[in-house]
Amino acid sequence: MIDEIDLIALLADHAELARLCDLLEGVADDLPALPADDDATSLCHMLEHRLPTHEAREHRFRETVFAAQSMPNGEPLLDRIRCRGVSQIMQAQDLIAALQPSASPLPATTLGYMLRCFFEGCRADMAFEELAILVLADRRLTPTASTLLRDSLERRCRD
């Protein structure tokens, strides 16, 4: 069985990643003005550390929850989650390079596109992952875990 304690770290990571997405959306909304150097440095630090940490935790979660299960229909879902995690890290690296205070400024339209692709994709990926867990682990979720996951997914899809 999967209890809420098994989901807490993953959902806390999703909440932190959602906050980072909100900050990046604010940067995109403020373009063509760029963030102050301190803010840009802080965003770069979050991008550099949050995504690899998140991916590592997700990997451990998938290994713990799904590794021992035979899920012929679930493998494509888990493969998509893995691939999107790698893609997010690569996009974060591109954003770090673009947001560095010492970087040559990109045109606002280019930076805006990069930011929006990242935070919209990241939000969609979190919702997809939570939905995949609901589908793949449905019978193994305790009622409390199921409620926790459904509430998180509802918030994710509402934003």
Measured CA to CA, the distance from residue 21 to residue 15 in angstroms comes to 10
- Contact yes or no for 108/31 (Cβ under 8 A): yes
Which tens digit of pLDDT belongs to each residue from 107-147?
Answer: 999 999 999 999 999 999 999 999 999 988 888 899 999 99
Domain of residue 33 covers 4-158
7: phi then psi, degrees, rounded to nearest 5: -100, -15
pLDDT along the chain (159 residues), means of 10: 89 94 97 95 95 88 74 80 92 96 91 97 94 88 94 86
The total of structural domains in the chain comes to: 1
* 103 CB burial (10 A radius; 0-12, 13-18, 19+): middle
| CA 104, chain centre distance (Å) | 27
**Residue 15, Cβ neighbours under 10 Å: how many?**
13
pTM score, whole prediction: 0.90
